[in-house]
Amino acid sequence: MIDRDETLKALKSPEGFKIIKEIFIERKQKEDQQKNAILSNTDYIIWLEKFTTKYPDFNNEIFYYQKDKLSKEDIKNGEMLPIFYDAIEDYAEQNRIESIDVSNNYQDEYYQLKFQGVGFHIGCMCGQGTLYYVEKKTPTTNFIDFEDILISKRKTFRNQVSNNLEKLTKLIHEIADSTPLDEISKTTENTIQKILQKRNTSLADHK
């Protein structure tokens, strides 16, 4: 049987704090990767457009209490709604786009989002719990155009690729005087092949 007091004592130790910190950092990195991925292409927003054709006003509870009526794809994407909202919120804050507060007894706010002429309200309501919701609505003013998000992400990606290639070029120049160029080329090619093989294996496992 696990002793609760001993467990709490262990967690408050320097080693315990280190473990908790590592877990927090790992979760934060995973969440950031998910948020970046969900805004880097149109897969999710296209699914949302299709889903709101049948369910123009819904919240994330539908994916827990009406699973028997939904496809596996809908459930999987629905469970990502909090990540999508957080990603939109981050983008809005970075670009000084304010949310719209709803006057009720809860902490309730939403963002207006537009994609190829279709509008959505993407919101979060906090009361006894937290609900994430979507309404298919025509955006008015102060809306976020998803196309602008894609442009921003592509620009960031291009800049990141350029910086990485610049670092790689600099590293090759630094080691070129003490390492045969054919060995550098061979090692680089072998590394690329291993990465491709690992990715192909991962894709095959998910099919």
Task: Specify the pLDDT at position 201.
Answer: 74
Length of the chain: 207
- For residue 117, the model assigns a pLDDT of 87
Angle between helices 81-94 and 14-38 (to 10 degrees): 80
pLDDT of residue 140: 80
Model pLDDT, residue 19: 75
Q: How far apart (Å, rounded) are the C-alpha atoms in residues 50 and 52? A: 6
The domain spans of the chain are 4-146, 148-206
Q: Are 119 and 112 in contact (CB under 8 A)?
A: yes
Instruction: Locate 63 and state its tokens.
Output: 């994916």
CB 80 within 8 A of CB 44: yes
Tokens 């909202």 sit at which residue?
Answer: 85
Q: Residue 60's pLDDT is what?
A: 93
Can you give the pLDDT at residue 155? 64
Phi, psi of 122 (to 5 degrees): -110, 110
Contact yes or no for 122/110 (Cβ under 8 A):
yes
Residue 1: its pLDDT value, please?
45
pLDDT in the model for residue 205: 59
Cα–Cα distance between 113 and 133 in angstroms, integer? 13
Give dist(CA 80, CA 75) in Å, integer: 9
Whole-model pTM: value is 0.68
pLDDT beneath 50, residues of the chain: 1, 206
Predicted pLDDT of residue 105 = 61
pLDDT for position 107 = 82
